Each structure stands twice: as structure tokens, then as C-alpha cells.
Amino acid sequence: MIHELTNLLGSKKILGKGPECVAYSRDMSIYTAVPDAVVMAEGASDVQKILKFALQNKIPITPRGAGTSVTGAVIPIKGGIVLDLSGMNRIKEINLVDQYVVVEPGVVCGRLNAALAPTYYFPPDPGSLEVATIGGMISTNASGRSALKYGTTADYVLALEVVLATGEIIHPGHRTPKASTGFDLTRLFVSAEGTMGVITEATLRILPRPEAIRTCIAGFPSLEAAAQAAVQILASGMPLSACELMDWYSLQGFTPDTGLDFPDTRGMLLLEIDGPNSMVTGKIEELHALCTQVGATRVYVIEKSSEREKIWRWRQHLVTALSSCRNGTRLVPMAEDIGVPVSRVPEAVRRSQELAAASGVRVVLFGHAGDGNIHTTFIINPLDREEWEKAKQLADDLHRLALELGGTISAEHGIGLAKASFIKQELGTSHALMHQVKNFLDPQDIMNPGKLGFFADFPVKPSHFAFAVPSTRPGSLASLGSKRADRDALLCMMCGFCRAACPIFAVTGREGDNVRGKMQLANLVRTGGLALSEEVARKFYLCTTCGACQSHCPAEIDVAGLVTTMRRQSFKSGYLPKEYQAMVAKLQRTGNPYGLSREKRFRRGQFPQGQCISNSKQAKVLVYLGCDASYLDRRLSFSLLRILDLARVPYAVLDDEICCGQPLAQWGGEEAFRQAARALAARIITHSPELVITPCPSCLIALGQLYPQVVDGWRLKVQSIPEYLYQMFANGKLEFKRSLGQQVIYHDPCLLGRHLGIYTEPRRLLESIPGVTLMEFPQQREESVCCGGGSGVPALSGELAVHMAARRAGQSRESGAQIIGTACPMCKRQLTRGISKSREPGDVVKVMDIAELILMALE
């Protein structure tokens, strides 16, 4: 099949068996299944070709967007082809006059709203909006907190382009404000979960952004009291745009994350009003008084937009953050989305709590009380089979409760596999009619088989349970090499939020290049479902360990730590990529990973002696240049030492400087790193410095964080160049003589920023230089975009690294900056490559280290 698919679409769009396919075997649910192939579709014609091929050969097709489903809707339980639509991500048209947009299914909801800002927006706002794709939102009729006022995704679908199982393309719907021309076939594909056809284009209604928004937070003595208050507030006619309910357990992270204190609160309402400023101002005062009348013990009105955004960001990440709320447990989505009439919410809350207490399963209860949508989220020990059995029974009881109260088993997450056995109970004969329509459009049942209850016998097998081995044979789990890595691999919610952060995934679009895919590989290595191999190891080496994913991870998983742990196992097993093997050999032979002769290394004697003191006892500062500055960027070395000369700072440099060994540590070579560290440490210690400074963040981590672990007696203070130079400036030792007249945009190196938290000093240094206007990238500090230079990725995949660098360098173009400033020799080299890759006519931007800019102003 792989050969035929390759002939059909080309090799770049086809992923065959192995780690690439394994990475597509999970979503946020408790289910798993590995496809036989993955097709990276780039347009409707690709989809059409694949569906015709699949129909001819009776091969199952599972459409997939971001894979954020909590129900298993994108799990290919019958194998076949996963059709990855996330690469179809063009916003084709924005029409503000007629208030619609035309988008491909892979467009991310958050990105669409960014494109519409600041005047318009697409109202549906699921908690996963920063990664959720429009195609997936349509296929599950997704919604969020604003559904109370603005409805669900279905309310915004005007027209669609759909490829049917036969390969035929249809265009149901209209772009006109209204139409009366027979069946509205667009609704046939909303909530269909890809079982009727593949959506390849959507025309969506958009709205003007509200002029004003205010948030009110009210605390209550019990969850049921909060639920009853919500009903009363809604019945009063208060024009709420959001009414969120949260129990005590949900609130454990509220005060630390928001700074608001709610002592003795057991239930909370997050309320919001939006609209014209005059209306909102008046109504928010009424709401404050009303909350007190209905029993609130404490009420806050949030005026500042920054504080409001912080609160809603906390609420947005609540679900996945619960995965790490209690040691040894994780969140399990099994009956997390029941819906009831709003008047029955208090009863549903009370009885859900009673069922949970009787079962012994920890249940966190929160949700969109304003539209009757209650999230009953289980927190269990995934290694305990008995807890799983209790959770399964409780899920069934909660689904029955929802139906008993006149509600639904799924208010916004869809059916997938998790609720498939209950859909017939809810829909009755309507489900049989749905099945007839399904059979008419897809008689061979190739479109996402096993979903929406379209089956005679429940198709999920024990092997489709992602926790089969951990729950039944926990003692058989192999260790990845550290307790933290073992814990994190099991803890990962597979939420996919890391998709919004990973710089490699941003270029390749492959799930196996993203953290979630790596987590699934690690889990299967633990359970014995996948053997560690060169191919598997390469996935863990294809990571810059930039830390962006960790800053986006609600569960605060130590991704870099897990990746490093897997690399250690790979190194020990002989699976170090050949590109790195060559660099290790060069490092051990020549003292640097580039294999360059020492004659090419920067030497202090290449310019006047200055303040460099050969008598080591007199110099308190030792400058460790590192391999990049010594061999590949000698201009940086010159600039740094020249600054020290001009400031008359006594310092020493090593004539016999060698690599600090950090590449060995990054690649998992523990013993090799230990030897390299001790060799360099012995040379540094002979100089007896009080302080070591270095221009390389990678060296800074090695000398400052790793050496104390492997070098006996290593207690030297180590500082970055921005920190040291800023201290010099603060102490009046930098006397600037000229104004540069330059606009400089600062790029945060990942290691210096996210890993070491050094954000302020580089910026203050740049601001101190006469004539420098400091500018910022749209994504800066913790959100900074990796240039692609970390962990040796340029050696492993030079083309990929350049694409990553071009992506970052290209962002400087819109700012109008003349210089990209940074504080890392690798970043400087990568961004220079990126500029060359993305250069446009008239581009004048160049990349400089902060030290080079300072020297320009000093001389």
C-alpha cells in the first residue's frame, strides 16, 4: 500500500509504518491504535485521490486535525490510513463586509482569531483553541465558555466543501445571509466526526468583537449553592456571555495562578458580560449585587483586561493541568461532557457528587453551567486496575444520569469511541436513520469506522485500551532511566498543546516530530510495545530541547529531561546518529566537535595584550570562550575581550581551552561528558579564578549546572556575558563614545531565556547603548521561537534547521529592525543563515551579538 500511495501523491506526503505511524496512534482519550499509513494532505485534490484509492481497495480512512479529541474520535481502530489535514491550513478569504471567512480544515482556531483581530472574531472558543483545527471543531460541533450567548460551531457554518467516500466533491451551503433552498446539508457533516466525508473547506460566519468585556468571580459555600445561584442569575435575565462553574478541587491552582484569594470557597462561578461599554458598565454593577443576593460569600469584578486574560487562561488550561494535581494520578476522560437542561444543573451536580462518592473515584466537577454542560473529570491511578473498573462503572452511571435528566451524553466533545455504546439509548430510532444516511454515503464503511455507534458489535478490543499494560501488569513496565521520565511519560495527557510551541513541528507538521508523538514512543518503549531502535532514537535526537513545549504544557512535564533520558538509553544502546558519532570522535580527537585544528582557534595574542594577565593568580575573572566563539565566530571573541580591555578589567583566558563537553551531555553520553568535564575543569582550576564568564549559554549550563554534579569540588561561580556586562555598566565601567542610531530587535536564546531565566539583563544592556532603539519580536521571552540551533540539530538535519531559522528571522522583517541582537553564538549563526534563506529584495537586516554592539559604541 505504501508503494501505491507514494506513486499517487509522492513520498513527502506519505508516512509508512514505524515510529511515524505510532505517533498518530493517540489522541487525548484512553484509546490507541496504529494506522498502516499516514497521508499528509495538502489540498482537496489529495483528499479526492486518497478516497478513491481507499474505496477501490476497501481501506479505512480516519480524518485527523490536531488530534485533541477526548473521545477517541481520531483513533484508527481498524487500521488503514490516517488522513492528516493539519497541513491544509490556508485562510483563503476574509470578507468583513459580508462577515465571513473561507478556510481550510487545518486552520487553527486561535490563529484564525489572530488574523481577524482586532475588529472581528470567530466566537466558538474550546479550551484547546490554540491548537484545535476548524475541521475538527466542525466535526464535533465544538464550543466553549461563550456558547451561552454565542452558540456552537454549527451556528457559524455557512457553507462547506466536502469530499465524499466516492471521491465526489460537493459544496453544500451558501455565503448569503439566508437561503431557503431545501435541506441544509451542511448540518449533515457537523458533528459527523468524519464518518460521512472529509471537509476540505469551510465558509464561516464571523462577528465584530464586543466593545467591552467584564468578568465577575463569585465564591459560594458549596458547589450545589453555586449551581443554584447560576440558575437564579440566568433566570433574572442578566445578559451573561459566560457562566462557568467550578468545584473546590478545580480551584486548588486558582489563587496561586491568579493572585485572587477565596478562603472557605467550595464552589465558584466565573461570570462574564460583553457588549457596548455603557451597557456592560451598568450590568456588571448589577451582577455584583445579584451575586451577593443569591448567596455569594465573596465577589470580585475584574476590570483590567490583563487580569481577565490571566483568569481565563487558567480556566482554559484547567483540564490538562488536572493531570498533575495529585502525585501518582492523572486525568482520565471517560464521561467528561454530559449536558442537561439548565434548570437541572443543581440536581445534576448533586447527584454526580453522590455517584462519585459512592464509587470511590476522585471526580473534579466544573463546566459551562450557563448552557447545562457539566464536565465530570476522573482523577485515578493509571496503574491500578481496580480504579479503572470503578471509573468505567461510574462513567456508565453518569451517562445514564444525563439521559434520566433529559440531557445528552455529549454536549460539545462528540461521541468517538468513549460514548459510542450509549448513543443509541439517547437517539433511539433517530440513530437508525443516521445509520441509513451513513450507509448511503459510505456503503463500504471506509469513513472513520467504529465511531458514532455505527456498528453491530462494539469494535473496541482490549488492545485498543492505551493503559492495558500499565493497569494489568504495572510491574512489567521498563524504566526509561529516571523516575521523573517514567512519571512524565505516563502523565502526559496527549492534549497536543505542544503543537503550538514545537519549532520542529512548525516546519514539518509531523506528529512524530512533536512532543506528543515522542511521548507515545516513550510509553511504548516502557510497555514493550516498541523496541528502541535507530529509527526510534532519531526521533528523540530531532529535538532542540528549546523548552517551548514545556512552557505551553499545562501538566508541567519536563520534556527536555525526558528527551535527554531517552537519549542516554539510545547512546548506551549504540543508537547515536552517525552525524553525532562523527562529532563525538572529532571532539575527543581535537578538543572541539567541529574537528578544526587548534591553529584555527581564536588566540589572545592576535591583538594587543591589553589587560589579559598571564599570571593566573592576579586575574579574578576567567573568560571561557567556548567552541563556537573560538572557532566559528572569532569576531565575537575579539569583541568580548576588547570590551574587557577598554574597561581595564583583569582577566585570563585558557591557551589550552577545550570543549566543555556539553554536546556529549545533550546527546546522552554520560561517561564521555564526565571525562570531558573533568579535563576542562582541571585546566580552569589551575588559574584559581573567582568567576568564569562565557558568551555561550550551552557552556554556561554545563559549567554552572552540570559540572557540580560530575566534578568533585567544583564551586566556581559562572556568569553569562549579558549579566556580567550589565554589572559593568551599572558600575560605570562602560564609557560609550558614540551613538549607533540603530533599531535592534532582541532574540531570546532558548537556553539563556527559558532554561536559565535570563531575560532582563540583555534588554537593559541594549537600552543602555546610545542611539539603540530596542524592539521586540511578537513572540518573546518565554514565548520566544527557537532558531533551530539547539542540541546539534543543524548537524542532524541542516535543511530543517535553516527552515526553522528562516521562520524566526522572517519575523523581524515586519518590525523594520535593522539588526537582530542576541546573546548566543549559535543563535547568531543560525539567524544569519535564516536571513539568507528568507531574504527579500531590499533587506538590510543583519545579526549581531550584544557584545559586538557594545564594542561599536565604546570605540
Q: Report strand pairing: 362-368 vs 242-247.
A: antiparallel
Structural domain count, the chain: 5
The cell 536564546 sits on which residue?
749
For residue 628, tell me if it sits in a domain.
yes
For residue 846, tell me if it sits in a domain.
yes
110-146 pLDDT, tens digit each:
999 999 999 999 999 998 899 999 999 999 999 999 9
Task: Say how many C-beta atoms besides its own lie within 10 A of residue 735's C-beta.
Answer: 10
For residue 47, tell me if it sits in a domain.
yes
Q: Report strand pairing: 37-40 vs 81-84.
A: parallel
Domain co-membership, 205 together with 215: no
What pLDDT is attached to residue 603?
A: 66
Domain co-membership, 662 together with 623: yes
For residue 418, tell me if it sits in a domain.
no
For residue 239, tell me if it sits in a domain.
yes
Domain boundary among 316, 345, 362: 316
Domain co-membership, 40 together with 164: yes
809 with 745: CB under 8 angstroms? no
Q: Cα–Cα distance between 74 and 498 in angstroms, integer?
A: 18
Domain co-membership, 205 together with 222: no
Domain co-membership, 28 together with 153: yes
Task: Say how many C-beta atoms besides its own lie within 10 A of residue 274's C-beta.
Answer: 21
Query: Which of 30, 108, 79 is closest to 462 using CA atoms?
Result: 30
Residue 272: its H or E element: strand 267-275
What pLDDT is attached to residue 212?
A: 94
What pLDDT is attached to residue 37?
A: 96
φ and ψ at residue 715, rounded to 5 degrees = -130, 20
Q: Domain range holding 32?
A: 1-209+446-451
Domain co-membership, 219 together with 201: no
Burial of 812 (0-12, 13-18, 19+ CB in 10 A): buried
Domain co-membership, 183 together with 285: no
Cis previous bond, 118, omega within 30:
yes
Residue 136: its H or E element: helix 134-140
598 with 592: CB under 8 angstroms? no
Helix, strand or coil for residue 789? Answer: coil
Q: Cα–Cα distance between 781 and 747 in angstroms, integer?
A: 8
For residue 340, tell me if it sits in a domain.
no
Q: Collect all residues with Cβ–Cβ distance below 8 Å to 450 and sequence separation of at least 6.
A: 77, 78, 417, 420, 459, 460
Query: Which of 771, 855, 844, 845 is closest to 808 using CA atoms?
Result: 845
Domain co-membership, 778 together with 749: yes
Q: Which residues pair with 275 in a beta bridge?
A: 212
Three-point CA angle 279, 281, 287, nearest 5°: 95
Domain co-membership, 134 together with 221: no
The ranges of the chain with pLDDT < 50 are 608
Domain boundary among 728, 748, 765: 728
Domain co-membership, 203 together with 216: no
- Alpha helices by DSSP H, listed for 769-797, are 793-796
Dihedral angle computed from the Cα positions of residues 128, 131, 135 and 141, in that order, rounded to the nearest 10 degrees: 10
What pLDDT is attached to residue 572?
A: 95
Burial of 257 (0-12, 13-18, 19+ CB in 10 A): middle
What pLDDT is attached to residue 463?
A: 86
State if pTM tops 0.85: yes
Domain co-membership, 838 together with 817: yes
* Cα–Cα distances in angstroms (integers) from residue 264 to residues 220, 352, 471, in the given order: 8, 22, 37
For residue 328, tell me if it sits in a domain.
no
For residue 25, tell me if it sits in a domain.
yes
Domain co-membership, 97 together with 142: yes
Query: Which of 759, 761, 719, 748 is closest to 824 using CA atoms?
Result: 748
Domain boundary among 674, 709, 728: 728
Residue 849: its H or E element: strand 846-849
Q: Let me know how long the chain is.
A: 859
Report the CATH number at residue 559.
1.10.1060.10
Helix, strand or coil for residue 651? Answer: strand
Query: Which of 62, 50, 38, 37 is closest to 9 using CA atoms?
Result: 50
Q: What is the DSSP letter of 633?
A: -
Report the CATH number at residue 80.
3.30.465.10
Report the CATH number at residue 787.
3.40.50.11810
